[in-house]
Amino acid sequence: MNEITDKLAPCPFCGWHNIRINPHRVGGYVRTGTRYQTVCSRCKSRGPIKGTEQEAEEAWNNRVK
Protein backbone atom coordinates (compact mmCIF):
# COMPACT_ATOMS: atom_id res chain seq x y z
CA MET A 1 0.00 0.00 0.00
CA ASN A 2 2.89 2.38 0.75
CA GLU A 3 0.49 4.67 2.54
CA ILE A 4 1.77 7.99 3.83
CA THR A 5 -0.23 9.02 6.82
CA ASP A 6 -0.47 12.06 9.07
CA LYS A 7 -1.49 9.78 11.94
CA LEU A 8 2.10 8.66 12.49
CA ALA A 9 4.52 10.42 14.83
CA PRO A 10 7.70 11.86 13.30
CA CYS A 11 10.81 9.70 13.03
CA PRO A 12 12.64 9.48 16.38
CA PHE A 13 16.02 9.54 14.64
CA CYS A 14 15.76 12.31 12.04
CA GLY A 15 12.47 14.06 12.90
CA TRP A 16 11.04 13.55 9.40
CA HIS A 17 7.23 13.48 9.09
CA ASN A 18 7.02 11.45 5.87
CA ILE A 19 6.47 7.99 7.38
CA ARG A 20 5.04 5.12 5.32
CA ILE A 21 3.27 1.91 6.26
CA ASN A 22 4.62 -0.72 3.87
CA PRO A 23 3.43 -4.27 3.32
CA HIS A 24 6.03 -6.82 4.41
CA ARG A 25 5.55 -10.15 2.65
CA VAL A 26 6.15 -13.20 4.81
CA GLY A 27 7.32 -16.49 3.33
CA GLY A 28 9.56 -17.47 0.48
CA TYR A 29 8.25 -19.22 -2.59
CA VAL A 30 4.89 -19.85 -0.94
CA ARG A 31 3.45 -16.64 0.49
CA THR A 32 2.24 -17.17 4.03
CA GLY A 33 0.72 -13.74 4.50
CA THR A 34 1.27 -10.03 4.63
CA ARG A 35 2.44 -8.07 7.63
CA TYR A 36 3.00 -4.32 7.90
CA GLN A 37 5.95 -2.17 8.87
CA THR A 38 6.44 1.59 9.25
CA VAL A 39 9.40 3.12 7.42
CA CYS A 40 10.84 6.65 7.50
CA SER A 41 11.25 7.86 3.92
CA ARG A 42 14.33 9.93 4.81
CA CYS A 43 16.60 7.80 7.03
CA LYS A 44 14.87 4.42 6.38
CA SER A 45 14.36 3.74 10.10
CA ARG A 46 11.86 0.90 10.52
CA GLY A 47 9.28 0.00 13.10
CA PRO A 48 8.43 -3.56 14.14
CA ILE A 49 6.63 -5.88 11.74
CA LYS A 50 2.98 -6.24 12.77
CA GLY A 51 -0.07 -8.17 11.59
CA THR A 52 -2.22 -5.16 10.63
CA GLU A 53 -1.64 -1.59 9.52
CA GLN A 54 -3.28 -0.35 12.71
CA GLU A 55 -0.91 -2.43 14.88
CA ALA A 56 2.08 -1.09 12.92
CA GLU A 57 0.82 2.47 13.42
CA GLU A 58 0.30 1.94 17.16
CA ALA A 59 3.74 0.34 17.57
CA TRP A 60 5.41 3.29 15.81
CA ASN A 61 3.52 5.91 17.79
CA ASN A 62 3.98 4.14 21.16
CA ARG A 63 7.67 3.30 20.83
CA VAL A 64 10.07 3.92 23.70
CA LYS A 65 11.56 7.39 23.38
Residue 50: DSSP 8-state: B
Domains of the chain (ranges; CATH) run 3-61 (2.20.25)
Q: 34: which strand partners?
A: 25
Q: What does the alpha-carbon distance between residue 39 and residue 2 come to, in Å, rounded to a whole number?
A: 9
Kindly report, residue by residue over 4-32, the tens digit of the pLDDT.
557 899 999 999 999 999 987 776 655 66
Note the pLDDT tens digit of each residue in 42-61.
999 999 999 999 999 999 99
